[in-house]
Amino acid sequence: MSSSRQVVHNCLLLVLFSCFLWKRDVVEGSHYRIASIGEPLVAPATITNRTGYHFQSPKNWINGPMYYNGIYHLFYQYNPEEPIWGNIVWAHSYSTDMINWKPLQPAIYPSAPFDINGCWSGSATILPGNKPVIFYTGIDPQNRQVQNIAFPKNLSDPYLREWVKPHYNPVINPSGDVNASAFRDPTTAWYGPDGHWRTVVGSKQGDRGVAILYRSRDFINWAVSKNPLHSVEGTGMWECPDFFPVSPMTTDALDTSAFRKGLKHVFKVSLDITRYEYYTIGTYDFVNERYIPDGLSPDNHTGLRFDYGNFYASKTFYDDGKRRRILWGWSNESDSVLNDWKKGWAGIQAIPRAVWLAGDGRQVVQWPVDEVESLRHKQVMINKKMIKSGGVVEVKGIETEQADVEVVFDVSSCLDKVEKFDPGWTDPQKLCSLKGAEEQKGAGVGPFGLYVLASGDGEKRTAVFFRIFKDVNKHVILMCHDPTKSSKREGLYKPTYGGFVDYDINKSAGKISLRSLIDHSVVESFGAMGRTCITSRVYPDFAPGSKAHLFAFNNGNAGVKILQLKAWEMRKALVN
Ligand SMILES: *[C@@H]1O[C@H](CO)[C@@H](O)[C@H](O)[C@H]1NC(C)=O
Ligand SMILES: *[C@@H]1O[C@H](CO)[C@@H](O)[C@H](O)[C@H]1NC(C)=O
Ligand SMILES: *[C@@H]1O[C@H](CO)[C@@H](O)[C@H](O)[C@H]1NC(C)=O
Ligand SMILES: *[C@@H]1O[C@H](CO)[C@@H](O)[C@H](O)[C@H]1NC(C)=O
Ligand SMILES: *[C@@H]1O[C@H](CO)[C@@H](O)[C@H](O)[C@H]1NC(C)=O
Ligand SMILES: *[C@H]1O[C@@H](CO)[C@H](O)[C@@H](O)[C@@H]1NC(C)=O
């Protein structure tokens, strides 16, 4: 069994984020004073764009999930006094569906020498006898990063309200040549056939990202392994490492400790240098205590990503109840810092996703947990509708600020008209910026997709789209999010994001699917049934009283057919 970490892990992000806030406040603060004596400034207090069904705390936060005895737990940071870093406690919420959450009392807070300067991220593990333990990074009086554990005080309490930190903490110190300022985010531990627990702590040696491996029989006394589990030159600090088994035979998930011949493993890191994550698929060589990537994708930031957008500090856990592995990531605010202050909250958690190995073994596939569908409400549908070159089709009849859209496009009639792929186009994000969502003169198939959170005239919009190219003997599919026209407001961070979709559209008779979860200031998209995913934060500034619109569009040269489009209005979830 298993579970998660973001608990403290996200702590780290908050620390960094708050430093940033602090510095910026000086600048923004004076800017605001100038504004208040005459210069018009957007009225930030009204620009909340607060999400309706994504988890967020009332104030600054970041989190970590765990499943235990039928209940999902989320631990997150919370400042009871101000919407900035400080006075931080480990707030705790629980849920039975990962969508609706109720708050509990704080679980962990700095209180002892081994965490007096901070409780950073970690993970949960379920020990034999169904006993959960949290592993987290504490900051000691010398500002060293050390690894601590904490246990529930009362296992009969179904909500695990109180947590106890044993006096023998820290259980892992940065010894030898380990950099004590770069030593954090212990993973969920796994149990080997040799009767030892193992965990990995993220670190770096010079420019080399390192996953330092530790072993223990009793979860209290830990010994460092001779070799790291994995390391890669030039990748910098590895935050939030995650390591879990997947089966090439079935989409059923495996417990983190599952170990047998023929299993594959996924190894993911969050790169502090790029602020993006990447993962590889490979083999866990248990005898030599090493993870060996298959080598089918780059083992650096140009490699595979769970999400090619705003998605970081993700963590998976094994959901024993529904036998699935759940991936959960954090999506930071991309509004101006001044507005974050005004709003009083920053950062949301993406909708939890089931994750499994694709049938071809080349990547993982993700899909929003079924539970989110319980929020689906009013539905509209469009069948077999052609969108001609330069055309749009509006999805009418529902409100779309809070919506779930699933569409299947059919491009079978024009697969021979696709643009040629230039092998020099190796960076999908750049290619999305270069090609964009705008009408293409003489182009082939695409851009086609959805305009979400759009104004009625379509002037303001976030484009979620595909473009299809032809390489020597296969099609290349690009999926993009272009939020550059999402809002006219200044100070927003709105990069175009993109990823290639490893999907044989010829074999699928020209059909490709797209799903987008839309929630006021976030758009999470899943291309080709979850083979490529992109998340963006956007802050549409519609005229007062006007609502968000949703369109399907086609700016390619050839006509594209909507085979079927279903869209649902989403109810609000109960979030704390
Ligand atoms: C975002 O906030 C702005 C300003 O309050 C508002 O005009 C717009 O309708 C909001 N958009 C959504 C999608 O909630
Ligand atoms: C432990 O939790 C159970 C269930 O909530 C409660 O009945 C019991 O009194 C608690 N025990 C202690 C020592 O607090
Ligand atoms: C240790 O890590 C810190 C934080 O990243 C860095 O500033 C420092 O240079 C590192 N020290 C060494 C010896 O690499
Ligand atoms: C990333 O890995 C790929 C494939 O191994 C390699 O070609 C490329 O040079 C690497 N990029 C960087 C920046 O290290
Ligand atoms: C697509 O499939 C057809 C027949 O199945 C084949 O003739 C054609 O070469 C394929 N095209 C590509 C680009 O794979
Ligand atoms: C999210 O915020 C933007 C804008 O401030 C930064 O550029 C990103 O680096 C940041 N993302 C993460 C993962 O921290």
Give percent above pLDDT 70 in the chain.
88
The answer to whether the peptide bond before residue 447 is cis (omega within 30 degrees of 0) is: yes
Alpha helix stretches (DSSP H) within 216-273:
none
Question: Of the given ranges (52-61, 200-209, 482-491, 548-557), which has the lowest mean pLDDT?
Answer: 52-61
pLDDT of residue 74: 87
Question: Of the given ranges (31-45, 123-137, 544-558), which has the lowest mean pLDDT?
Answer: 31-45
- Residue 111: is it exposed, middle or buried by C-beta count within 10 angstroms (0-12/13-18/19+)? exposed
Q: What is the mean pLDDT of residues 231-242?
A: 97
pLDDT of residue 77: 66
Pocket test for ligand 5, best of 472, 504, 506 (most atoms within 8 A of CB): 506
Q: What angle do CA 480, 272, 4 make, to 5 degrees?
A: 85
Q: 242 pLDDT exceeds 90?
A: yes
Under the banding of pLDDT at 50, 70 and 90, the label for residue 85 is low
Question: Of the given ranges (17-31, 41-55, 174-188), which has the lowest mean pLDDT?
Answer: 17-31
pLDDT of residue 440: 74
Q: What is the mean pLDDT of residues 188-203?
A: 96
Under the banding of pLDDT at 50, 70 and 90, the label for residue 64 is low
pLDDT of residue 81: 59
Taking residue 288's Cβ as centre, other Cβ atoms within 10 Å add up to 10
Taking residue 253's Cβ as centre, other Cβ atoms within 10 Å add up to 25
pLDDT of residue 148: 96
Under the banding of pLDDT at 50, 70 and 90, the label for residue 419 is very high
CA distance 454 to 446: 19
HSE toward the beta carbon, residue 568, CA cutoff 13 A: 14
Under the banding of pLDDT at 50, 70 and 90, the label for residue 82 is low
Q: Where are the beta strands (DSSP E) in 471-555?
A: 475-482, 497-501, 511-519, 522-527, 532-537, 549-554
* Whether the CB of 175 sits within 6 Å of ligand 2: no
pLDDT of residue 341: 75
Q: 103 pLDDT exceeds 60?
A: yes
Q: 3 pLDDT exceeds 90?
A: no
Residues near ligand 3 (Cβ within 6 A) = 179, 181-182
Residues near ligand 6 (Cβ within 6 A) = 275, 312, 332, 334, 493
The answer to whether the peptide bond before residue 423 is cis (omega within 30 degrees of 0) is: no
pLDDT of residue 346: 78
Give per-residue pLDDT as tens, 123-170.
Answer: 899 999 999 999 999 999 999 999 999 999 999 999 999 999 999 999
pLDDT of residue 340: 77
pLDDT of residue 298: 98
For ligand 6, atom 14, the nearest C-alpha belongs to 275
- CB contact at 8 A, 559 and 410: no
Give per-residue pLDDT as tens, 278-312.
Answer: 999 999 999 999 999 999 999 999 999 999 999 99
Q: How far apart are the CA of 531 and the centre of ligand 5, in A?
A: 22
Q: How far apart are the CA of 387 and the centre of ligand 5, in A?
A: 24
Taking residue 539's Cβ as centre, other Cβ atoms within 10 Å add up to 24
Four-CA torsion 83, 89, 90, 94, nearest 10 degrees: -70
Strands 163-164 and 145-152 come out as antiparallel
Q: How far apart are the CA of 409 and the centre of ligand 5, in A?
A: 19
For ligand 6, atom 1, the nearest C-alpha belongs to 332
CA distance 118 to 143: 9
Q: What is the mean pLDDT of residues 308-317?
A: 94
CA distance 330 to 328: 7
Residues near ligand 4 (Cβ within 6 A) = 234, 298, 300, 302
Give per-residue pLDDT as tens, 206-224.
Answer: 999 999 999 999 999 999 9
CA distance 63 to 317: 13
Does 252 or 84 have the greater pLDDT score?
Answer: 252
pTM of the model: 0.92
CA distance 427 to 115: 41
CA distance 471 to 506: 13
| 3-state SS class at 319 | strand
Write the DSSP string, 508-519. TTTEEEEEEEEE
Q: 84 pLDDT exceeds 90?
A: no
Q: What is the mean pLDDT of residues 433-445?
A: 84
DSSP lists the bridge partners of residue 290 as: 285
For ligand 2, atom 2, the nearest C-alpha belongs to 157
Strands 223-224 and 353-357 come out as unpaired
* Whether the CB of 474 sits within 6 Å of ligand 5: yes
Q: How high is the mean pLDDT of the chain?
A: 88
* Whether the CB of 547 sits within 6 Å of ligand 5: no
Give percent above pLDDT 90 in the chain.
74
Q: How far apart are the CA of 180 and the centre of ligand 1, in A?
A: 44
Residue 87 zone, left/alpha/beta (φ > 0; ψ -120 to 50; rest): left
Give per-residue pLDDT as tens, 486-530.
Answer: 999 988 999 999 999 999 999 999 999 999 999 999 999 999 999
Q: 326 pLDDT exceeds 90?
A: yes
- CB contact at 8 A, 289 and 332: no
| 3-state SS class at 119 | strand
For ligand 5, atom 6, the nearest C-alpha belongs to 506
